Structure 1
Amino acid sequence: MNKEIRTEIFTRFRNENPKPETELNYSNPFELLVAVVLSAQATDKGVNKATDKLFPVANTPEAIYALGVDGLKEYIKTIGLFNAKAENVHKLCKQLIEQHNSEVPQTREALEALPGVGRKTANVVLNTAFGQPTMAVDTHIFRVSNRTRIAPGKNVVEVEKRLVRLVPKEFLLDAHHWLILHGRYTCVARKPKCGSCIIEDLCEYRDKTTD
């Protein structure tokens, strides 16, 4: 796939959705960080149901830390892997308080040093909370990048690096959201909805479907 086709793909994404946003509910960088940590192997809708109850009660590192692990579990027990996530979020809050003056750090290295925060989570926070042109590759973006051939790769890091290099700079800040929404609602895993896809004529997927 050449640069002109990629440019047209992202131009269409932008025309359809000029200001894409995460589907996680949050009002500040700390809430986003917690929500993204909780979203691992869970749906955004499921996380929102939990955080819509948690954040009005506790939405600072001090407040969540004060809940204790067991207290936090009561709010997030509907989310998969909630036991491990409660432990991580509690430790994360302690670390933010002790090492970052209760502020969410704005570098990947500092974010990845927090409990429960991996490369993908760090990239989401850097992009969505702080407006950095990072690329958080989840299963949706990995699938779309390989299926369309926008930026094929054997693993998520390879796809991430190719997307950062190949997506035209004017689209890079919002590319993460466009790709994840496209994978979530159109280029779905089992049977992509090619017939209603706005980039079907540009996509290089060989087994296109009609819907």
Structure 2
Amino acid sequence: MNKKITIGQFIPKKSIIHHLDPRTKIIWVFFYLIMAFAAVGFYSLLLVLGLLFLFLLLSKTKFFELFSAIRPLIFLIVFTAFLNIFYIQGGHVFYSFYFFQITSRGVASAFAIMVRLFCLVSASSLLTLVTSLDDLVFALEKMMGPLKKIKLPVSEISLMIMITLRFIPAFSQELQNITDAQKIQRGAI
């Protein structure tokens, strides 16, 4: 299994967060993401980051384990922030080149987007790092139980989520094998 990718991988440890009920963890992630996207100012974004690092410490998860989950998305996060720098106008103009302007509102918006995307990916990854896949799927099925009354196929939805999360590490390993094979082939030509 590819140890560089930790999305969907459970790392068993003895911590307060690991021993919580999986439904509690899911609800925490849900409200945490709402809080991250509702945060408006600089200090509220720092508070959201601080909460993430607090739960990281409480779960005894190392930062590099969490960082390996967001590493594939760093380009997307930076690219989105870069676009926001030029797209959002207003405030003090730092730099102007033809019709491109870097303004204080653009920089603030780029920072907010970076923090929100980082929190989104990190909280989701932290959930899978501290909760076994079976427990996570069982908790999701229990939480969606009332939806059975409106004939929603809750068991099938839970099964699809489990299969998706199970195959992320396998898919990443296969991708790594293909990449290595291409490197070997290019070196031989």
Using the size of structure 1 for normalisation, the TM-score is 0.27
Structure with the larger strand share? 2
**Which structure ranks higher in relative contact order (CA pairs < 8 Å, sequence separation ≥ 6)?**
2
Structure with the larger helix share? 2
